[in-house]
Chain A
Amino acid sequence: MSTATIATILLLGVFLVLVFLRVPVVYAIGVASLLDFFYLGINPMQMALKFVSNLNSYTLLAVPFFILMGELMSAGGITDTLIAFSKELVGWMHGGAAMVNVVASFFFGGISGSSSCRLCLSGPHRDQDDGRAGL
């Protein structure tokens, strides 16, 4: 077997074993890659350099800022207002709780311009908000 084949088997094998042993995926990837670096004789400094250069991206700034926006919206009461409004609109229907969720997501998507970022905005506060809204 060539060195590249053994390195690939080592990478996948270590990763799968660690994941099955309930090691968090991010560390399983890191440890498996690190072992591969040592096996192939590559300077691990390259891995550290790649680590920083991949994180050094303006696009990724959206993630903490969306979470911050969600916290501000929850603290400021916009979330409660939107859920109360959605409840007034569709809360009376059969299966109202789910429909309120969909309508509130619709408004969040409209405000933020991204439908999936709504998870960052109000996902962690979903239970509290639903509880306060009486759902």
Chain B
Amino acid sequence: MSFVTDILSAVCVLGFSIFLIVYGIKLAQSGASNNMAGINVPYAFMYSALPVTGVLNIFAVLGHWVMGRKEKK
């Protein structure tokens, strides 16, 4: 049962991470043409936080799985 809930948890995190990556890239692309007021930097840099978060989430899930397997061994 614990194994099933762990997999479900990982699937939820991965699904949400993929959402963050896909829509984060779309948002960054849409914000590339507009600049932030005052600092004159494109909004794309601010919005790129979303895909980066998604990728880091995936790394965290993978790391969790690898560490869990190592501990079991």
Nearest chain A CB to B36's CB is how many angstroms away? 10
Closest partner residue, chain A, to B6 (CB atom):
A22
- When distances are taken between beta carbons in the complex, the residues of chain A under 8 Å from B13 are 23-24, 27
Interface size on B, residues (CB 8 A): 19
Render B3-35 as a binary contact track against A, CB cut-off 8 A, 1 for contact. 001101100110110011001101100100000
Provide the bound-state CA to CA distance between A116 and B25, in Å: 37
Contact stretch, chosen from A1-9, A46-54, A127-135? A46-54
Contact of B27 among A23, A48, A55 (CB under 8 A): A48
Interface of B is mostly: helix
Nearest chain B CB to A58's CB is how many angstroms away? 14
Interface of A is mostly: helix
- When distances are taken between beta carbons in the complex, the residues of chain B under 8 Å from A52 are 27, 46-47, 49-50
- Most chain A beta-carbon contacts within 10 A, residue among B6, B15, B19: B19
Interface: A28 (CB within 8 A): yes
Contact of A22 among B5, B19, B20, B49 (CB under 8 A): B5
Does B8 contact A21, Cβ atoms closer than 8 Å?
Answer: yes
Nearest chain B CB to A37's CB is how many angstroms away? 10
- When distances are taken between beta carbons in the complex, the residues of chain B under 8 Å from A28 are 12
Nearest chain A CB to B63's CB is how many angstroms away? 15
Closest partner residue, chain B, to A47 (CB atom):
B23
- Most chain B beta-carbon contacts within 10 A, residue among A30, A44, A48: A48
Contacts A23-B9, A48-B27 known; list 18 others, CB within 8 Å. A18-B8, A18-B12, A21-B8, A23-B5, A23-B13, A27-B13, A28-B12, A30-B16, A31-B15, A34-B16, A44-B23, A48-B19, A48-B23, A48-B50, A49-B27, A51-B50, A52-B50, A56-B46
Q: Interface of B with A (CB < 8 Å)? A: 5-6, 8-9, 12-13, 15-16, 19-20, 23-24, 26-27, 30, 46-47, 49-50
